[in-house]
Amino acid sequence: MASFLRTASRLRPAAARSIAFQSSKMTTAVSFPAQRQYASAAASATISNDVEQPFFPDEPKGPTVKTAIPGPKSKAAIEQLEKVFDTRSLNMMANYNQSFGNYIADLDGNVLLDVYAQIASIPVGYNNPALLLAATSPEMASAIINRPALGNFPQHDWAEILETGILKVAPKGLNQVFTGQTGSDANELAYKAAFMWRRQHERGGAHVEFSDHDIASSMVNQSPGAPQLSILSFKAGFHGRLFGSLSTTRSKPIHKLDIPAFDWPQAPFPVSKYPLDQYAAENAAEEQRCLDETERLIKEWPQPPAAVVVEPIQSEGGDNHASPAFFRGLRALTRKHNVLFIVDEVQTGVGATGKFWAHEHWGLTDPPDMVTFSKKAQAAGYYFGNNELRPNKPYRQFNTWMGDPARALLFRAIIQEIERLDLVQNTATTGEYLYKGLERLAQAYPSEIQNLRGKGQGTFLAWDSPRRDEVLKKAKTVGVNVGGSGERAVRLRPMLIFQKHHADIFLESLEKVFKA
């Protein structure tokens, strides 16, 4: 162990110098002269006259495409991997040693501008020097090799790690956290908390002991010990692939086929017209229809909902938006019927929408009961504020790990990097700039960009494409890695370090795809 820690300590000065080097070079201004050649007036109209300081001046200046993707070296690696691992969902074979900042590399020397970021999961760039510094610290080494079973043997500074990291950015009104492993796990744990809370209230409080009938019936999966309760979710929503979370996932059949599921209710999510502000009256009527049906299900479903779970923006299901008024209406319904309100911020959280948490856009006066997180946090769990959401006895909300101090330390470093570079504001500013550029492209290519959406939501943007899969494939040939959602949507999930000059490169590349 001592040798390993000495090795890590030798790496830390190099990482620190890298951060200092990057910071010192940030004084170098980058501007984009008018004579730069663009594919057309539609793309060039997005050029900023502002002087922009790059966060990482040493990252590639643009994409490099040397071979078809996958190229020969990648094909060989894929063939080797296929022997021991299912590669049918493979997007590209990445070389992370050569990836940096906003750019992802492969084994054949291709370097792509990555606006998909591991399905929205990379927050501050590949091989970020600040994260390298955290990763090579003695604290991280100890957390990795002495991984504690946190419920039984928490490390001495676990409270300090939480308070200076995960809880430092807790949503307003939520001052506690239960940490987990993944986004699916975070939602499963939140559902369990909701069920235990509901039954605790029905018994008369935390002080009331379980009856003999409760105990015996639970062991044969019968009520009342295994109560006939539910979680209400929404059509096209996605909340994970474990059994409980999968029962609330409604995005694509391929996720659910052949898997037994709970008989839980599905409410309609508003089918909005875009841009939202141009169809305010129609969208308000649609949202009210959905709220009315949600209330009916809460009151009438045979297995009463203990909670309602919703994404601020339905991501996997097609990047579907609703107005803040809809979510305020949901909050009011859950209070009216004494049902918990769970906001699934696994994909929308940690700055992606120009707010640290997407539900900050709603203007709630009454915070959610629980907010789940993962992805860009590189950690997972759910925030809560009500002490009644703590189970009344130990071992009820429990597993071996109950989270991971190594990932909590990494999230703390991510938070520090977000604060150092003011990346939430950067995402809001860059998102506004990128949206305007996409509007211009939509005017020039109306058949290619339909239902553009995400205005005012940072870089959390999407549009519908009649040839979506072809667009995603051709984007790689012009140096861009981008993803899809739902059946027709192209979704953008760039990192928080994505800036205006990256947006220019993306827009120019996108237009090449449209012209082809």
Which residues does the annotation mark as catalytic?
Answer: 238, 344, 375, 400
Question: How far is residue 122 from each of residues 104, 306, 487, measured CA to CA in Å?
Answer: 11, 33, 24
199 exposure class (CB count in 10 Å sphere: 0-12, 13-18, 19+): middle
Token representation of residue 430: 């860059």
Round to whole Å and give the CA distance between 154 and 175: 19
Length of the chain: 516
Round to whole Å and give the CA distance between 439 and 457: 15
Where residue 11 falls (left for φ over 0; alpha for ψ -120 to 50; beta otherwise) is alpha
Asked if residues 385 and 177 have their Cβ atoms less than 8 Å apart, the reply is no
Instruction: Say how many C-beta atoms besides its own lie within 10 A of residue 216's C-beta.
Output: 12
Per DSSP bridges, beta strands 340-344 and 483-485 are unpaired
- Facing residues of 343 across strands? 310, 371
Round to whole Å and give the CA distance between 494 and 501: 13
Matching residue, tokens 């040693």: 97
Comparing C-alpha atoms, which of 70, 63, 146, 67 is closest to residue 112? 63
- Phi/psi of residue 498, nearest 5 degrees: -70, 125
Alpha helices per DSSP H over 85-211? 117-120, 129-135, 138-145, 158-164, 183-203
Question: How far is residue 267 from each of residues 229, 233, 284, measured CA to CA in Å?
Answer: 16, 6, 17
Asked if residues 309 and 339 have their Cβ atoms less than 8 Å apart, the reply is no
Question: How far is residue 510 from each of residues 274, 315, 453, 472, 475, measured CA to CA in Å?
Answer: 21, 21, 17, 10, 7
- Phi/psi of residue 494, nearest 5 degrees: -65, 170
